[in-house]
Amino acid sequence: MSAKFKTTCLKCSLLAVFLLFLQVSFSQKKSTAPSPMPALDKVMDDKKKQLGNDFSVVIAVGDSVVYQRTTGDIANLKTPSPIGASSQWLTTALILQLADEGKLSLDDPVSKYLPIFESYRRNYITLRHCLTHQTGLGKEGSKLGGLFDKKKFASLDEEVTDILKKEIHANAGEEFRYSSYGPVVAARVAEAVTKKRFDQLIRTKLFVPLGMRNTSFTTDDGSAPDPSGGANSTATDLTKFLQMLLNNGKAGDKQVLSESALEEMRKIQVASAQIKNAPAADQGFSFALGTWTADKSAPQGGKAASLVVPGLAGTWPEVDFHRGFVFLVFTRNFPGDQTAQPFLDLKQIADQHFPVKKN
C-alpha cells in the first residue's frame, strides 16, 4: 500500500471521527436545552400511566411550533397512526371547501345529490344534520350507532344504501345521537358532486395543499374509506391542519378554507344539554359543525371559543381561538380510560402561557 493511500485513509478516518464528534455534541446540546414549559414536561411524565409511554404534545402559535415533546421516540411525530373521531373533522373541512366552491350547500336536502334518499323517503335530511349527528338514522337506543360495525363495504355508495335501511329513531334535527352515519353520508355527497372517490378527493383538496404527506383515508384492502373514524395521520400533519384553522383558513399564502366557512364551523349547533348520547371523553361538551367545543356553557347559535375532537384512540386535537394557540396530544397504543381529564390537565398547564386575547 502506498504512503499516499495511507495518508488519504488517515485523513478520511480523522474526518469521520470529527463529524461523529460534532453529531454527538449537537445532540447533547439539543437534549440539554432548557424546556420552554418545564411544568408541562412534568405533567406529561405524570400522565404516562393514563396516556401510555409513547405520546406527544405539540403547541403551535401562528405558523410556528413553540413546544414539541414526545415521551417516546421523536421519530413518532412523523409516524402515521389512527386518529379516530378526528377523521370527521377533516371530512367536515372538505365539505366546507365544496360549499365555498358552490358545489353544495349545508342546508340542501341530501336527496338533491343522492336521489336514493327520496326513494327511502328520507328527503328531509340535510348535510347540516349529517355533520351534527342529527340525521335520526339508526336504531333507537343504540349507544354509538355504527362506530363499532365490523362490516366492510366496497364503496360509500353501498354503505349509504345499508344505512338507509336502518330504523328511524327521531325526526332529523330533533335529537343528537353520536354516530358514524352522518359523516359517511356527507362524504358520499362529496363523491357525487365531484365524481371522485372520497379518499382521493380529500387528499387532493385538503392534504396536499397543507403538506399533510402522511395522512390518508385509503384502506389497505381497497374497501370503502371510513370518513368518520378511518384516517391515519401524524402529530406533525395534524398540527398543520389545526394551524390552518387558527390562521383563519390560511396555510402560508394559500386560503384553504374561507373565513366564512370557518365561522360556520365554529357555530354551536347543539348545546350540551340537548345531547342524547356521546363518547365518555366528550361528556358535557357542546357540538359545533363536525367538531366539539370544550366550552360547556356555550349556547346554541353562539361562537365556540375552542374546537376539539377527542378520539377513542386517545388523540386530542384542539384549536383555542380565545388564547390563540393550537394544542395537540397525539397518542400511540393508548391504554387509558375514555375520559377527558388527563388531556384537560395538560391543556390547563399550557393555558398558563397564553392569556386570553383581547377583542
Give 59-106 as a DSSP string: EEETTEEEEEEESS-GGGGGS-EE-TTHHHHHHHHHHHHHHHTTS--T
Residue 161 counted as domain residue? yes
- CA 163 – CA 159 distance, rounded (Å): 6
Residue 29 counted as domain residue? no
Q: What pLDDT, on the 0 to 100 scale, is given for residue 43?
A: 94
Residue 27 counted as domain residue? no
Nearest to residue 202, comparing CAs of 235, 170, 227? 227
Question: φ, ψ for residue 307 (rounded to 5)?
Answer: -125, 140
CATH of the domain at 275: 3.40.710.10
Q: What pLDDT, on the 0 to 100 scale, is given for residue 324?
A: 97
Q: What pLDDT, on the 0 to 100 scale, is given for residue 10?
A: 42
For the chain, the residue count is 359
Nearest to residue 319, comparing CAs of 241, 235, 228? 241
- CA 89 – CA 86 distance, rounded (Å): 5
Cβ neighbour number for residue 147 with a 10 Å cutoff: 18
- CA 68 – CA 77 distance, rounded (Å): 9
Nearest to residue 266, comparing CAs of 49, 89, 81, 144? 89
Residue 22 counted as domain residue? no
**For the chain, what is the domain count?**
1
Instruction: Report CA-CA distances (Å) from 311 to 172, 175, 330, 339.
Output: 25, 22, 10, 10
Instruction: Report CA-CA distances (Å) from 149 to 26, 121, 146.
Output: 49, 24, 5
Instruction: Report CA-CA distances (Å) from 58 to 67, 229, 242, 258, 346.
Output: 6, 22, 11, 25, 11
DSSP per position, 130-164: HHTT-S-BS-TT-SSBTTT-----S-HHHHHHHHH
Q: What pLDDT, on the 0 to 100 scale, is given for residue 149?
A: 56
Contact 156, 117 (CB under 8 A): no
Residue 147 counted as domain residue? yes
Q: Which three cell numbers stand for residue 139?
A: 336504531
Range of the domain at 146: 51-351
Q: What is the full per-residue pLDDT of the chain (359 aa) written as tens digits?
A: 444 444 444 444 444 433 333 333 333 334 456 888 999 999 999 999 899 888 999 999 999 999 999 988 877 789 899 999 999 999 999 999 999 999 999 999 999 999 999 999 898 999 999 999 999 997 543 444 455 455 789 999 999 999 999 888 888 999 999 999 999 999 999 999 999 999 999 999 999 999 999 999 999 999 999 999 999 999 999 999 999 999 999 999 999 999 999 999 999 999 988 888 888 778 889 999 999 998 777 788 999 999 999 877 789 999 999 999 999 999 887 877 778 889 999 999 999 999 998 76
| Residue reference for cell 386530542 | 316
Residue 162 counted as domain residue? yes
Residues with Cβ < 8 Å from 130, sequence gap 6 or more? 110, 181, 182, 183, 185, 186, 189
- CA 70 – CA 129 distance, rounded (Å): 38
- CA 144 – CA 85 distance, rounded (Å): 12
- CA 172 – CA 135 distance, rounded (Å): 5
Helix (H, G, I), strand (E, B) or coil at 130: helix
Instruction: Report CA-CA distances (Å) from 7 to 1, 12, 13.
Output: 10, 9, 10
Residue 25 counted as domain residue? no
Contact 218, 199 (CB under 8 A): yes
pTM: 0.88
- CA 166 – CA 114 distance, rounded (Å): 17
Q: Which three cell numbers stand for residue 285?
A: 361538551
Using alpha carbons only, what angle is made at residue 58 by residues 54 and 59, rounded to the nearest 5 degrees?
155
Residue 169 counted as domain residue? yes
